[in-house]
Amino acid sequence: MCGRYLILSSPEAFRRLFAYAQERAFPARYNVAPTQPVPIVRAAEGERQFALVRWGLIPSWVKDPRSFSLLVNARAESVNAKPAFRNAMRRRRCLLPADGFYEWKHEAGRKHPFCVRPTDRLPLAFAGLWETWMGPNGEEMETAVIITTPANRDLSLLHPRMPAIVSPSAFDMWLDCSRVDALTATALLGPAPEGLLQSYEISPAVNRTANDGPALIESLRQQPASAETVTPTAAAAKSKPNPARGKGDLQPSLFDDLP
């Protein structure tokens, strides 16, 4: 399961890793949540392309997104069989730039949040799928889902699943939907190598999607017993609640600072 993740590296670092042509400036985000805009990298006309899409896939055949369940993750084991994913697996595979993710461990009747980051602190690529949904009045929305796999040994005690991480050497193979079929691409969706990631417990402040800032990824052992840390952006979101969301689920825009 991957329901929150991190985007911390500089735009230049992501551009070097994913080799897309566009120069896009975007801020670091410490609490990326479903329904927010997220960056993806996909192949278009033989080149890698940066794009912003909504996290939460809507298949093209859905008539009313409001009555359709939010698809944040897709299981690697069934991604070629599920109607919601199989066409995208054949034709619309993508990568999601990231610097880690959050997971919650069930222990003693409580959920304890953990931050999972690369040991070397270099950016990662989550395997994903994207779709374009067209509405009855011509409206159009691009959306994406993160593919998950069984967790590796390092993370299995924390949670049974983890995002599928694609190595840079396999980027071309994953993105080339015209020459690499879905079943062949599925072979890239194994658990991450042992030692690639480290996890540590963090403050429950991450539970609130409005909270966003570097304090969220500090180890719980290094934090004083204090209140949640909220950025000015999140504070503004608190002052203008969205009636479509619950009181504890306010979300700032992922790319408020884009030009």
Catalytic residues: 2, 103
* Main-chain phi, psi angles of 144, to 5 degrees: -145, 160
DSSP codes of every residue in the chain = ----EEE-S-HHHHHHHH--S-------EEEE-TTSEEEEEEEETTEEEEEEEEESB--TT-S-GGGS--B-EEETTTTTT-TTTHHHHHH-EEEEEESEEEEEEEETTEEEEEEEEETT---EEEEEEEEEEE-TTS-EEEEEEEEEEE--TTTTTT-SEEE-B--GGGHHHHH-TTTS-HHHHHTT-PPPPTTSEEEEE--GGGGSTT--SGGGGS-GGGS-S-PPP--HHHHHHHHS--TTS-TT-----TTTT--
The token duo for 223 is 């934090």
- Return d(Cα 180, Cα 186) in angstroms, integer: 10
Q: List beta partners, residue 145.
A: 129
Amino acid at the residue 23: E
